[in-house]
Amino acid sequence: MIFMKLGKYKHYKGKIVEVIGVGKHSETLEKFVIYKEGKNFWIRPEKMFTEKILLNNKMVSRFTYCK
């Protein structure tokens, strides 16, 4: 089962995106996050969406949920 809070997230570079759903690849069952930025729709592997990255010698989340 996939669980991710739907709603607005801030990318570490500053853009706001909206997570609108989650899904699985039909053959590999890899989990994907489906999100929207402006008029564009994107998918990204869940592992990549939720990972931390090194930025200016500091570990930060790639995307952070906006309350």
State pLDDT tens for residues 8-49.
999 999 999 999 999 999 999 999 999 999 999 999 999 999
CB atoms closer than 10 angstroms to residue 17: 21
Task: Dump strand ranges (E) for the chain.
Answer: 7-11, 16-24, 31-37, 40-45, 52-55, 58-61, 63-65
Residue identified by tokens 């699985």 is: 24
Tell whether the model's pLDDT for residue 53 goes beyond 70.
Answer: yes
Q: Is residue 38 part of a domain?
A: yes
Residue 42: inside a domain: yes
Does residue 21 fall inside a structural domain?
yes
CATH number, position 49: 2.30.30.320
The better pLDDT of the pair 1, 33 is held by 33
Domain assignment present for residue 18? The answer is: yes
pLDDT higher than 70, residue 1: no
Domain holding 36, by residue range, is 7-65
* pLDDT level of residue 67 (50, 70, 90 thresholds): confident
Query: Does the pTM of the predicted model rise above 0.85?
Result: yes
| Number of domains within the chain | 1
Residue 2 lies in a domain: no
Measure the CA–CA gap between 13 and 4, rounded to whole angstroms.
Answer: 21
Is 12 a domain residue?
Answer: yes
Query: What are the residues facing 33 on neighbouring strands?
Result: 22, 44
Structure tokens at 53: 């990255």
